[in-house]
Chains A and B, each alone.
Chain A
Amino acid sequence: MLFGVTGDLARKKLMPAVYDLANRGLLPPGFGLIGFARRDWDGEDFAKIVHDSVKERARTPFREEVWKQLLEGIRFVSGTFDSDESFLLLKETLKELDESQGTGGNHAFYLSIPPKAFDQVVSMLSKHGLAKRDTKDAWSRVVIEKPFGHDLASAIELERRVSSVFHSQSVFRIDHYLGKETVQNMLALRFANQLFEPIWNRNYIDHVQITMAEDIGIGGRAGYYDGVGAARDVIQNHLLQLLALTAMEEPTSFDAEQLRAEKKKVLAAARPPRDIAAHTARGQYLGGWAGGQLVKGYLEEDGIDPKSQTETYAAIRVDIDNRRWAGVPFYLRSAKRMPRRVTEVALNLRPAPHLPFSHTDTEALGSNALVMRIQPDEGITLRFGAKVPATLMEIRDVTMDFAYGTSFAESSPEAYERLILDVLLGDPPLFPQHEEVELAWKILDPILDFWAELDTQPEGYQSGSWGPPCGKAMLARDGFVWRRP
């Protein structure tokens, strides 16, 4: 059951993914789908909209007959989240579908809706007996998307609500930026190789930079974004998950349980900076030319309060107090309207202890770096110094690139296909559970409180640039500079 079926995400990602799964024959035979949306349209209109977006977005070739066959198991229901009637109709439809498709009473609820509607929908589901705790014969699962609350207290409250209806192992918290494939790639790099582990600690790593940059602005998501900001939107979930995967110890096995245990341990050891003013930065994009287009500033975007203090650039320093990482700062930054879309984790190594070359020979030499490129163009980059071919002794940085896309002919499955499949199979190992979400808020809450107390406008930065001066100053204080990703 998909709530918010006419939303952007459902149309652009979820429905095409469902189609692709059907086309590849990966959907179970008893698969049925109910799309619930608030728009007052009848089934035909829904079908048309979804058909068109699937046809446009599907990754596998579009075949009418597959769609027709899939459509037989799809129902559309329109109504409102607060009306008992709508949910009664929903229950009716569900019952009919259970019988016609033979779902065996297994239900998954995908809440692709604004967080403020979560409560309402969850309580309605429970009130009308649509969702119930798993039994031996039938399961009932729920998928929720970030943000998981807006601070620690609200996250705990959200967890309380959700867990009153669903089992904790039946709750799938989705980070649609962090596909399962990526997590597995990171684990394989770290734990399937002998090459990297010896340097993966404070003896060799100088500092770590985790970046998620988007080239777009907030687009039509003003209602969602304003008041949330870059830190809550991305750092709390995506970047702190990447930090956990980068910094955690080796799990004893790749069981969901073991993996989560390691992530929890490292998140519990991570803390915000003691001097928040010096080690965090925030900014807001200004209007101007970015990437060859004239774009609006954040405060001029439709639906944004012209006095809004919401940050579109957030950078924070996180320290991990354990034997492996003590003294190695992790810098996390996330922003909109950057020069390009890129997510990466860069481990910068310490400089060589001694360089038996003259100063001018190594002037162009930086520090070695290992970069895990998450998207786009997922892969690994290794940067090291090499001599420039010529009679002079001149040493310069070179890079060695590995790209999943070119080294394996097989293309990575789309994140949402894996996701939907995992939900149907009940396989949640890599999704964060509420403890991880709460630990992440514990790191972020003091910073958000500090920013809120400042009650000032975030520093403006030019759209299409790498962020405001305060972001650069924050690293300069520690003697580092941001990489150009």
Chain B
Amino acid sequence: MIINVPDTTATGIHMALVEARHNIGVASSMVFTMIVIADGRHYDRALKACEDAGREHPSRIILVTNGDADGDHVDAEIRLGEEVPGEIISLRFHGQLTEHRASVVLALLLPDSPVVAWWPGSAPAKPGQDPLGKLAARRITDAMGSSRPLAAIERRARNYSPGDTDLTWTRLTPWRALLASALDSYPAKITGASVEAGPNNAASMLLAAWLEDRLKVQVESSEGGKGIGITNVTLHTSKGDIVIAREDGRMATFSAPGLPRRQVALRRRDIDALITEELRRLDVDDIFASAMRVLVERCERRDAEKATNA
């Protein structure tokens, strides 16, 4: 069921929702509210990702976009019923209201349950201080959705506030799992590491920071990889290297000294899977926070080197 509520207020939207719930007669068992702040370009993809995420986590999804420059009003479209798990409320803000979006969204948050904000495309410099970001306990950004991913992940790290997370981190989950299990099957003292990726890959920066944070060793990172995403991670030990190499973005080979070479599925995942995974935990991600701290340190070291070279 799709209900259109043009030129309305928070109260108007709320009344339409209550009435719709009564008509359909479903008990609401939504577990959180997700605010999705999309620009027109990412709208459809974000909507689809929301629907998928909603299947695992029935939630109220509030999709926020900006419309025309004039005529101060907000249009709403409510979707609920069988085909959509939970509720999806699309809000299109016009005119001056684009500066006061939180005033409408605040009234639509589910009672007493967590709030997550997600920027699929470009995100504010400090999500934790954004009016919509402030409503949320978790703020999900995606450095890879911005036009300059490396600069974006660095800015996120510098402006990190507890509750922030970036889908770049979620993309790394299989890599991190694989690296951790590699050390389980080949326990050895690591003396150094290197990460190689295709150009403009924010995830590789973060992976290098994570490795440095966890292993307390120097981690080289290079952009020279032939392929997409992260192409190679090497951990140096005194007996030789543990290598995970992936060139096609699907299958990786794992090799370690004295162990047979193995093929491992290491697919690049799409946004739907990432957001669904990210929503499984709503508490502050301490490991991520720590990795972001190291990322800032690494950037500062790089800047200092540049300054001495110049």
Interface residues of A (CB under 8 A from B): 215, 288-294, 339-342, 360, 363-364, 366, 369, 371, 376-377, 381, 383, 388-390, 392, 394, 396-403, 405-406, 464-465, 483-485
- Given the interface contacts A363-B284, A377-B18, A401-B28, does A483 sit within 8 Å of B111 by beta carbon? yes
Out of A292, A364, A397, which one reaches B9, CB within 8 Å?
A: A292
B282 touches A364 (CB 8 A): yes
Which A residues are CB-close (under 8 A) to B215?
A: none
Which B residues are CB-close (under 8 A) to A289?
A: 97, 100, 103
Q: Complex Cα distance A321/B132, Å? A: 43
B27 touches A403 (CB 8 A): yes
Out of A215, A288, A360, A381, which one reaches B283, CB within 8 Å?
A: A360
Out of B11, B27, B280, which one reaches A291, CB within 8 Å?
A: B11
- Given the interface contacts A364-B281, A381-B111, A390-B280, does A293 sit within 8 Å of B9 by beta carbon? yes
Interface residues of B (CB under 8 A from A): 8-11, 14-15, 18, 21-22, 25-31, 56, 72-74, 96-97, 100, 103-104, 106-107, 109, 111-114, 280-284, 286
B8 touches A394 (CB 8 A): no
Q: Complex Cα distance A484/B106, Å? A: 10
A399 touches B281 (CB 8 A): no
- Known pairs A288-B103, A290-B103, A399-B29. 6 more at Cβ < 8 A? A289-B100, A289-B103, A340-B107, A364-B283, A376-B15, A396-B282
Which A residues are CB-close (under 8 A) to B18?
A: 376-377
Q: Complex Cα distance A288/B28, Å? A: 32
Q: Complex Cα distance A104/B15, Å? A: 44
A292 touches B103 (CB 8 A): yes
- Given the interface contacts A339-B106, A340-B11, A402-B27, does A292 sit within 8 Å of B73 by beta carbon? yes
Which B residues are CB-close (under 8 A) to A406?
A: 21-22, 25-27
A292 touches B111 (CB 8 A): no
Which A residues are CB-close (under 8 A) to B29?
A: 398-401
B10 touches A405 (CB 8 A): no
Which A residues are CB-close (under 8 A) to B114?
A: 364, 396-397
A341 touches B11 (CB 8 A): yes
Which B residues are CB-close (under 8 A) to A364?
A: 114, 281-283
- Sample 24 A-B pairs with CB under 8 A, ordered by A number: A215-B10, A215-B107, A289-B97, A291-B9, A291-B103, A291-B107, A292-B10, A292-B73, A339-B10, A339-B107, A340-B107, A341-B11, A360-B283, A369-B112, A371-B111, A388-B280, A390-B280, A398-B31, A399-B31, A400-B29, A402-B27, A403-B21, A406-B22, A485-B112
Which A residues are CB-close (under 8 A) to B15?
A: 376
Q: Complex Cα distance A294/B73, Å? A: 10
Q: Complex Cα distance A377/B28, Å? A: 12
Out of A369, A396, A483, which one reaches B31, CB within 8 Å?
A: A396
Out of A390, A397, A464, A485, which one reaches B103, CB within 8 Å?
A: A464
Which A residues are CB-close (under 8 A) to B104?
A: 291-292
Which A residue's beta carbon lies closest to that of B21? A406
- Given the interface contacts A291-B11, A364-B282, does A401 sit within 8 Å of B27 by beta carbon? yes
Most buried by B among A289, A292, A390: A292
B107 touches A397 (CB 8 A): no
Which B residues are CB-close (under 8 A) to A485?
A: 111-112
Which B residues are CB-close (under 8 A) to A483?
A: 111-112
Q: Complex Cα distance A13/B29, Å? A: 34
B112 touches A291 (CB 8 A): no
Which B residues are CB-close (under 8 A) to A396?
A: 31, 114, 282
Q: Complex Cα distance A364/B138, Å? A: 11
Q: Complex Cα distance A485/B253, Å? A: 52
